[in-house]
C-alpha cells in the first residue's frame, strides 16, 4: 500500500450557511479522487472507523480519498436537528465542487446506507464527471423500519426527536421527508459503472434494495454479497475485509476502462 498522508480542512457550504469539515487521505501518486458519503446520523469516518480503513484501500489503489462530516455532524458546523434532505444534497454538491476545483481530477463516489441512497439519487443516470460509484448497503423503504427502530411517535407535537442510543436530536421535518423518500423510483438505466455491496444478514434488507437498484441501473451495475455480514460490519472484521477485497478487485478490474 502507498504511504498515506492525511490532512484536514474546512470548506464553505454552497449556501454560505456554515462550513464542512473535510478529511483528505492520499499517497504518492494519485490517479483520481474518491468522495465518501456517510449514512444517517453518522459522521465522516462512519461506524467503528469503517470509512478510514476503506479509504486506505483506495489510497493503495492510487486514489485520493475525501471523507467529510455532513452539516450538523462530526466537526462540521450546525446541529443535527437542523439537517434535512436539502442540507444532505447541498453538502455532497459542496464537496464535489470543492474537489473538482482543488484537484481537477476524475472522481468516484462511495456511500454507506443512506449515504449510498443520496449518491444514487443525485448522480442520476448520466453523469460525465462521476467515473464510478461504490455503494455499501443502500438503504430504502425508510417507512418500514425507521419509526420502529427509534421508537418515535409522530403523533406528538415535538418539533425534534431524540435518536437513542446516540442521543442525537433529529428534526421532525427530516424524518417525515425520509418516510416518503423513494429514491429507487427515480433510478433508470445508467452509464456510470456501479458496484453495490450488500450484507447477507442486514437488518435493513439492503440485499433486496441492492437487487432492485441494480436491475433499474442496468448492465453497468454489479451486485456482490458479503454472507452473514450486518449493516455496518460492526464487530465483524473478517466480513469487513471481505468487503475490502470485493471493492479492491472490482476497482482494479475496471480501472483500465475508465481511462485514468
Helix, strand or coil, per DSSP, at residue 3: coil
Q: Write out the chain's pLDDT in tens, 260 residues.
A: 457 899 999 999 999 999 999 999 999 888 999 999 999 999 999 999 999 999 999 999 999 999 999 999 999 999 999 999 999 999 999 999 999 999 998 899 999 999 999 999 998 766 668 999 999 999 999 988 898 889 898 888 889 999 988 889 999 999 999 999 999 999 999 999 999 999 999 999 999 999 999 999 999 999 999 999 999 999 999 999 999 999 999 998 877 665 55
- CATH code of the region 5-140+188-258: 3.40.50.1820
Q: Which residues contact 26 (CB under 8 A, 6 or more apart)?
A: 4, 5, 6, 59, 64, 65
pLDDT in the model for residue 172? 94
Supply φ then ψ for residue 155, to 5 degrees. Answer: -80, -10
What are the residue ranges of helices labelled H in 46-141?
A: 50-60, 85-103, 114-123
Asked if residue 68 lies in contact with residue 91, where contact means CB atoms within 8 angstroms, the answer is: yes
- C-alpha to C-alpha distance for 247 and 54, rounded to whole angstroms: 9
pTM confidence score? 0.95
How big is the chain, counted in residues? 260
Which sequence spans correspond to the domains of the chain?
5-140+188-258
Cell of 119: 449518491
Q: What count of Cα atoms within 13 Å lies in the side-chain half-sphere of residue 175?
A: 25
Amino acid at each position: 500500500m502507498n504511504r498515506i498522508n492525511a490532512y484536514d480542512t474546512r470548506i464553505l457550504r454552497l449556501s454560505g450557511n456554515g462550513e464542512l469539515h473535510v478529511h483528505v487521505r492520499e499517497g504518492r501518486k494519485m490517479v483520481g479522487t474518491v468522495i465518501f458519503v456517510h449514512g444517517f446520523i453518522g459522521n465522516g469516518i462512519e461506524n467503528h472507523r469503517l470509512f478510514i480503513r476503506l479509504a486506505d484501500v483506495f489510497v493503495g489503489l492510487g486514489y485520493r480519498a475525501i471523507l467529510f462530516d455532513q452539516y450538523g455532524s462530526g466537526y462540521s458546523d450546525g446541529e443535527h436537528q437542523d439537517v434535512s434532505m436539502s442540507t444532505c444534497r447541498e453538502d455532497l454538491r459542496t464537496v464535489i465542487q470543492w474537489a473538482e476545483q482543488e484537484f481537477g481530477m476524475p472522481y468516484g463516489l462511495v456511500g454507506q446506507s443512506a449515504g449510498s441512497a443520496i449518491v444514487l439519487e443525485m448522480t442520476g443516470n448520466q453523469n460525465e464527471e462521476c467515473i464510478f460509484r461504490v455503494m455499501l448497503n443502500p438503504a430504502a423503504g425508510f417507512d418500514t423500519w425507521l419509526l420502529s427502530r427509534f421508537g418515535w411517535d409522530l403523533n406528538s407535537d415535538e418539533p425534534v426527536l431524540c435518536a437513542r442510543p446516540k442521543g442525537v436530536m433529529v428534526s421532525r421535518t427530516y424524518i417525515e421527508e425520509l418516510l416518503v423518500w423513494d429514491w429507487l423510483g427515480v433510478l433508470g438505466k445508467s452509464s456510470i459503472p456501479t458496484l453495490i455491496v450488500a450484507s447477507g444478514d442486514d437488518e435493513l434488507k439492503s440485499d433486496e434494495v441492492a437487487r432492485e437498484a441494480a436491475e433499474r441501473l442496468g448492465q453497468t451495475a454489479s451486485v456482490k454479497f458479503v454472507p452473514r455480514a450486518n449493516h455496518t460490519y460492526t464487530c465483524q472484521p473478517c466480513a469487513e475485509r471481505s468487503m475490502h477485497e470485493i471493492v479492491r478487485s472490482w476497482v482494479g478490474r475496471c480501472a483500465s476502462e475508465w481511462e485514468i
